[in-house]
Structure 1
Amino acid sequence: MTELVYQYDSYIKECDAVVEAVQGNKVFLDRTVFHPRSGGVENDTGFIIAGDVRVRVLNVYYDKETGDVAHEVDDASSITIGSRVKLLLDWDRRYRLMRLHTAAHVLSAVMYMDHGALITGGNITPEYGYDDYSLQTFSSGVFEEAVRKANEIVARNIEVKVYWLPREEAMRIPGVVKLAGRMPPNVEKLRIVEIPGVDIQADGGPHVRHTSEIGVIKLLRTENKGKNKKRLYFSVEP
């Protein structure tokens, strides 16, 4: 399986990799800095540099047939199996995703602490994010207060810690899973993202190192999407 370099350091913008397979316009590598679409966070984009040719990476996802990370490119003709290539992220896009992703964790922690609400759905794009919460009644005031509290936490400039724990140990931590109806993968160790004193979750995506990097969380709008599905749209500024 592809080594997910970003899980160890989300600030690595480029790395070398070896091409393991090419299927049409799908490229499979031994390691990658590209985050595939997963966990409600959209994928990274960027370039694979093969010799003197820069190949655009359009989409990154877990391939249904192999289960491995597929890098969908605009033209794979210059990429050969066994060759060493360089991977280069669209950093501005990645950093926005990181800021919004960490903001989502802070918001979900507030909603869990104050209302016992779990996330029942969501998505994060470079422009904005949204999460659906398991609230019985709809109130925009609940979300306004959650954003206010989240911004107070963000301003404290708390270090965001990333580490691994044995699965059995991790699953004993209260609130380590905040996605309703979805359990972490059945692997020996789980990647843990912790904002000390605020939140701890099993999570595989990229995050900022300190909460102050998020900026200011801005509530865009709220929607009642039905039972156990009260939606909060948010962005980050500047």
Structure 2
Amino acid sequence: MSELYLTDCYLKEFEATVESVKDERFVTLDRTAFYPKAGGQPHDTGKLIRNGDEFPVVFVGKFDGKVSHEIEIPGLKEGDVVKGVIDWDRRYLFMKYHTACHILSAMIHNETGAKISGNQLAEDKTRVDFNLEDFDREQIRSYEAKVNEIIDRDVPVSIAIMPRDEAFEIPSVVKLKDAFPPEIQDIRVISIESIDRQACGGTHISSTGEIPHIEIFKAENKGKNNRRIYFRFV
């Protein structure tokens, strides 16, 4: 299966052939631009179209290495040629949130040395978890202005599929070395020019200028050495 979103996050429509259908609901294709739920980013929604008949896609996940599309209406079968259409407004919102999350995470790490332990994107807000003992709320508020300054600078964002050995020469990527099994020889790296380089499988915008300003509206302790920041677009 070819996962088109890995190299082109802006692809809104595509053609594909149905490879399998399970329980009349779960469809795999030979190629897809639908992003499956992973890495804190929600799945895409949209529809598959066959000869004018529409099959809404309500969930997308990755199982045993293949992207599965859950359709709301049964009727597709193996060998069908379909047109996939992404719910672009939803996808584009998550692209902007995901890149903003990378910028904020880079700010936190560069200024405190804290490791980012997780993130979760949603349509109305996003959160970042990080490992830090002290919780300086004034410092956290300063991140908001710094992230917005990077947004205003319209910094380029790029995607590169890199050989494993080359990717592990990047300090921020080598920290995740144990997360990549030996059989993974190519690693996808998201670069925000002069700001951050991270291994990431999610979708991103191509320039920070596409992101609205952020507002950090909540910060809380989530246990020993675990801190959480919530932000949203304004």
Scaled by the length of structure 2, the TM-score of the pair is: 0.94
Select which of 68, 71, 84 maps to 1:70. 68
CA contact (8 A) 2:167 2:174 kept: no
Q: In the TM superposition, what whole-angstrom CA distance separates every residue of 1:24-78 from its partner, at most 9, and x where no partner exists?
A: 1110111111110111111110001122211111110112xx33111111122x2
Select which of 182, 187, 191 maps to 1:190. 187
CA distance in 1, matches of 2:150, 2:81: 43
Give the structure 1 partner of residue 50 of structure 2.
Answer: 50
Superposition pairs of residues 1-238 of structure 1, within 5 angstroms = 2-24=1-23, 25-63=25-63, 66-76=64-74, 78-176=75-173, 183-184=179-180, 186=182, 187-237=184-234
Cα displacement (A) at 1:183? 2.1
SS of corresponding position for 2:179: coil
Q: In the TM superposition, what whole-angstrom CA distance separates every residue of 1:196-226 from its partner, at most 9, and x where no partner exists?
A: 1100001111100100101101112111101
CA contact (8 A) 1:48 1:57 kept: yes
Q: Are residues 185 and 195 of structure 1, via their aligned partners in 2, closer, same or farther at CA, if it must alter by over 3 Å?
A: farther
Cα displacement (A) at 1:138? 2.0
SS of corresponding position for 1:175: helix
Q: Are residues 44 and 83 of structure 1, via their aligned partners in 2, closer, same or farther at CA, if it must alter by over 3 Å?
A: same
Percent identity over the alignment is: 39
Letter in 2 for 1:57: V
Cα displacement (A) at 1:178? 7.1
Q: Which structure 2 residue ranges, 5 or more long, are not aligned?
A: none
Letter in 2 for 1:156: R
SS of corresponding position for 2:76: coil
CA distance in 2, matches of 1:214, 1:156: 11
Q: Are residues 20 and 92 of structure 1, via their aligned partners in 2, closer, same or farther at CA, if it must alter by over 3 Å?
A: same
Q: In the TM superposition, what whole-angstrom CA distance separates every residue of 1:156-178 from its partner, at most 9, and x where no partner exists?
A: 10110111111121112111267
CA distance in 1, matches of 2:178, 2:96: 23
SS of corresponding position for 1:207: coil
Q: Are residues 104 and 185 of structure 1, via their aligned partners in 2, closer, same or farther at CA, if it must alter by over 3 Å?
A: farther
CA RMSD of aligned residues (A): 1.6
List, as ranges, runs of 4+ consecutive aligned residues in structure 1 with deviation greater than 6 Å. Answer: none
SS of corresponding position for 2:188: strand
Q: In the TM superposition, what whole-angstrom CA distance separates every residue of 1:9-36 from its partner, at most 9, and x where no partner exists?
A: 1111010011001001110111111110
